[in-house]
Amino acid sequence: MTTFVRRNPLQAAVGALLAVGLIVSAIAAGTGSIRHVAFTSCGYGYSYETGNNNEPGYGTCPTTTTTQTPPGPGGTFAQGKVFTVERGQDLTLSGTSGQPNSPGEIVIDKGGSTSASARSASTPQEQVIGTFVTDQNGAFTTTVTIPSGLSFGQHKISAVVNGQVVAQAIVIVVPDLHGDGYRMIAGDGGSFNYGNNKFLGSVPGQLNGALPNKPIVGGDNTPSNQGYWMVASDGGMFTFGDAQQAFFGSLPDKDHLNGKLPPKPIVGMARTPTGQGYYMEGSDGKVYTFGDAAFFGDLPSINVTPNRPVNGMAVTPTGKGYWLAASDGGVFAFGDAQFLGSVPGDLKAQGGPSLPNQPILAIGASPTGNGYVMGAADGGLFYYGDVKKPSGPISVPAQLNGKLPNKPIVGMHVTPDGNGIRLAASDGGAFNFGAAKFLGSVPGDLAGKTPGGLPNLPIVALSRL
């Protein structure tokens, strides 16, 4: 990739953000080991007022009883509602049909079309991949193999008995279950690629050496891992590889803001599970939709102004909900996204200050959609729901024996199998937890080539599979 020694206001913004982080820091970094504390308050999260101009609100919990739908007619498989798999992988499924001693089938994309599409991710491919016979109680267990030709992205898998769907789940097909690759995106649209994430172009390359009008602030990979999107703070969208067949518009286009700038800058993006659409989020918590991305609400639509800017978004694996994270660790859940706690809630429960040491800058969802993890600028990690904590150090300071990273953490993802977490710093440093592998860093690549081995402009995002 061509090197451009230029600077823009993004670097000053990163420095300012660090300063803010140091100002609001209220408790010692220590080892960075964050204890997960049960948090019983409800609502969209911490970052809004509840009638008191000085007291941040948490909401109150209604008395409800949650029951999981048992396997059965119209129910789910005993193993879960969402499966993340590779092609050729075996998958064991069991459930109850209510129909004893009856033949059944496991069907991919039942009722879907098999027509080809230029935008091939998640193309429905209806096919029977296994059969079974229920026992005397109507129960079944069978093992099937994910077809080698199934398109990457989101599909449905169903157990069908006598023409009736008795259990159904979502299947997310990924090219690499372990997530042995990652892409770091710089503010000038540069792309730094590791493992199975290949270089497919950069914004300066597309613009014949010029920089984007506004800094790049986020990006995401296509389901095939053969392409990627990058988004700028004005909502401009840049596509590479097979994402060029999955361009669904940008904010300046006539179907959105028609040449105007968003009221608050765009701070990131997230694709839908199908890869047939994407979201952009503004620092005010406004959500913009493209392609098959469905709108389930945002902060302006519920008349909420966050206490701190929103700067992270994660989409549920169903594609029917999303979380927004603010820099104070407040979490806002929409659609089928579950609110499972917030950083201020945890800190309040511990009797400490209400703000994290440094701002929250990233959020990642577990593969099941039943959990999320947030990363702070100092590398502190906050875990909620079923996100797996690594067996070793659970934060960057813990990994560095109490020290902070050289530069702030700006991006994060959970590996597709849920067994690892990876963080990226603004200098391109990479930090890996659990089963996530270290495959290289920007300072390692640029050592001796640029001052301090730093990229031209800071890293702003870490793409995921």
pLDDT tens digits, residue range 240-271?
999 999 999 999 999 999 999 999 999 999 99
**Interacting residues of 208 by C-beta distance below 8 A, sequence separation 6+:** none
- Please give the mean pLDDT across all residues of the chain: 84
Task: State how beta strands 164-173 and 82-85 pair.
Answer: parallel
Hey, what are 304's tokens? Answer: 């909420």
Confidence of residue 465 (pLDDT cuts 50, 70, 90): low
Give the per-residue pLDDT at 123.
82
Average of pLDDT values for 154-159?
A: 96
**Topology adopted by domain 87-173:** Immunoglobulin-like (2.60.40)
CA separation for the pair 124, 108 (Å, rounded): 8
- Ranges in the chain annotated CATH 2.60.40.10: 87-173
Q: What are phi and psi of 133, to 5 degrees?
A: -130, 125
Instruction: Dump strand ranges (E) for 81-152.
Output: 82-85, 90-96, 103-108, 127-133, 139-145
pLDDT in tens, 267-277: 999 999 999 99
Q: What is the mean pLDDT of residues 234-245?
A: 97
**Cα 372 to Cα 154, 332, 363, 385, distances in angstroms:** 20, 12, 7, 7
Give which of 294, 346, 344 is closest to 316, Cα–Cα.
294
How far apart are the C-alpha atoms of 394 and 380, rounded to whole Å? 8
Domain with CATH 2.120.10.30 in the chain: 9-62+176-463
Burial class (CB in 10 A: 0-12, 13-18, 19+), 62: exposed
420 in Cβ contact with 55 (< 8 Å): no
Cα gap 297→287, rounded to integer Å: 7
pLDDT band, very low/low/confident/very high, at 12 (cuts 50, 70, 90) = very low
The reported pLDDT for the residue numbered 74 is 53
Q: How far apart are CA 270 and CA 391, in angstroms?
A: 28
Question: Is a pLDDT exceeding 80 seen at residue 10?
Answer: no
- What value does the mean pLDDT take over residues 109-128? 69
Q: Is 50 exceeded by the pLDDT of residue 27? A: no
Does residue 36 surpass a pLDDT of 90? Answer: no
Closest CA to 164 of 111, 118, 203: 111
Confidence of residue 39 (pLDDT cuts 50, 70, 90): very low
Over pLDDT 70: what percentage of the chain? 82
Segment 360-385 mean pLDDT? 96
* pLDDT for 49 beyond 60: no
Homologous superfamily of 9-62+176-463 in CATH? TolB, C-terminal domain (2.120.10.30)
pLDDT of residue 289: 98
User: Strand locations in 248-370, DSSP E?
Assistant: 266-271, 277-282, 287-291, 310-315, 321-326, 331-335, 360-365
